[in-house]
Amino acid sequence: MANIKSAAKRARQAEKRRRHNVALRSRMRTAIKKVVKAVAAGDAEAAGQRYREAVPLIDSMVNKGLVHRNKAARHKSRLNRAVRGLQA
């Protein structure tokens, strides 16, 4: 544990932010998994709906600095390709 008051405060803030970031990252991963699950089930309508819900969430995580924009783009691209594969 930190001996200096300011260092102790920074440690508390860092832990609080870490827990918040873990929750946000988990929310994003869950949204991605919902799309993957709908695609695996072969339900094109549900997959499209889940995809439309996941995209703004993924973009939001980029704006918050939780994931790199290229990683977000990669996720969106792969999910979109999977969803469109069902509709073809």
Domain positions in the chain:
5-87
Q: Which tens digit of pLDDT belongs to each residue from 31-60?
A: 999 999 999 999 999 999 999 999 999 999
pLDDT, position 67 = 97
Q: What is the reported pLDDT for 87?
A: 80
Is residue 35 a contact partner of residue 77, using CB atoms and an 8 Å limit?
Answer: no
Position 2 pLDDT exceeds 90: no
Q: Which of the four CATH numbers 2.40.110.10, 1.20.58.110, 3.50.50.60, 3.40.640.10 does domain 5-87 have? A: 1.20.58.110
**pLDDT value at position 74?**
98
What is the reported pLDDT for 63?
97
Is there a contact between 2 and 8 (Cβ–Cβ < 8 Å)? yes
- At residue 66, does pLDDT exceed 80? yes
Decide if pLDDT at 88 tops 90: no
Q: Which residues contact 21 (CB under 8 A, 6 or more apart)?
A: 66
The pLDDT assigned to 51 comes to 97
